[in-house]
Amino acid sequence: MVDRKDLDFQTMKEYQRFSPDSVNGSDSAAGLKRNIEKDDNKIIVTTIQKLNNLMKSEGDLAIYQKQVVFIFDEAHRSQFGEAQKNLKKKIQKVLSIRFYQERLFFLKTLWVQKLRQVYLVANYILMPTDAIRDEKVLKFKVDYNDVRPQFKSIETEQDEKKLSAAENKKALLHPTRIREISQYILQNFRIKTHRNQGSNKGFNAMFAVNSVEVAKYYYEELNRLQK
């Protein structure tokens, strides 16, 4: 189960690469219904939207009474709302395996017939460190920079209670600190994103902050500096 069309196609490709002719895909709720009714033991890859449309249009399907294993990719985006309510109402006998981080993951155990064996898969949901070690995801590239002298004490603080104090929040959002970080980004962006190598264009970096408010401060400062 995925939450958008591009993941639908990508997931099918990965299963097919691992085991040719192992999955069924569909372009619509009607196609999904045909795949569910087939007796070919193939894994069915679909979006949460297609399943929800099928459940709303079909009040009585045989699968509603069967044991079903759902594997949710990007589960944090598909675990709420109408679709999940309908799923829980329609299909009672469910084992859910939910992934919350991007990873390339092959579920060889799912080619078995008995539901009890599928539980083995649930015990092998990779954490980030395991996934990196097993070469299922790319390594993190961490590049630490020297802290600004004026804010060294707050930037190296490890105590979360102290970091959450009002005066420390004020220090972290100090205009001078935001300006220096913004200047560093503008000065090093092309180098860090390999902008000068080949065809590296478009969006290939992410700037993460802890709130919309902070994002606005940096947005305004980056615009000001670029002018």
Nearest to 23 by CA among 39, 5, 42, 7: 42
Q: Is the pLDDT of residue 6 over 80?
A: no
Q: Averaged over 217-221, what is the pLDDT?
A: 95
Token digits of residue 176:
């001078």
43 alpha-carbon distance from chain centroid: 21
Q: How would you write 33-62 as a 3-class SS string? A: HHHHHCCCCCEECCEHHHHHHHHHHCCCCH
Q: Is the pLDDT of residue 24 over 80?
A: yes
Q: Is the pLDDT of residue 124 over 70?
A: no
The CA–CA distances, whole Å, from 66 to 61, 112, 205, 219 equal 10, 16, 45, 52
- Cα 208 to Cα 68: distance, rounded to the nearest angstrom: 38
Q: Residue 156 contacts by C-beta under 8 Å, 6 or more apart in sequence?
A: 147
The CA–CA distances, whole Å, from 214 to 92, 163, 221 equal 44, 15, 11
CATH of domain 5-133: 3.40.50.300
More confident site: 70 or 194: 70
Helix (H, G, I), strand (E, B) or coil at 70: strand
Q: Is the pLDDT of residue 106 over 50?
A: no
| Confidence (pLDDT) at 119 | 39
Q: Is the pLDDT of residue 37 over 60?
A: yes
- Cα 185 to Cα 209: distance, rounded to the nearest angstrom: 14
More confident site: 15 or 115: 15
Least confident of 1-10, 174-183, 218-227: 1-10
Q: Averaged over 188-206, what is the pLDDT?
A: 75
Nearest to 178 by CA among 226, 207, 214, 227: 214
Q: How confident is the model at residue 169 (pLDDT cuts 50, 70, 90)?
A: confident
Q: Is the pLDDT of residue 220 over 90?
A: yes
- Angle between the N-to-C axes of helices 175-192 and 212-226, in degrees from 0 to 180, rounded to the nearest 10: 70
Per-residue pLDDT tens digits for 46-97: 888 888 898 988 888 888 888 888 888 765 555 557 777 888 888 888 887 7
| Confidence (pLDDT) at 202 | 67
Per-residue pLDDT tens digits for 125-163: 445 566 566 665 566 667 777 778 888 888 887 787 777
Tokens 């569910």 found at: 36
Domains in the chain: boundaries? 5-133, 149-226
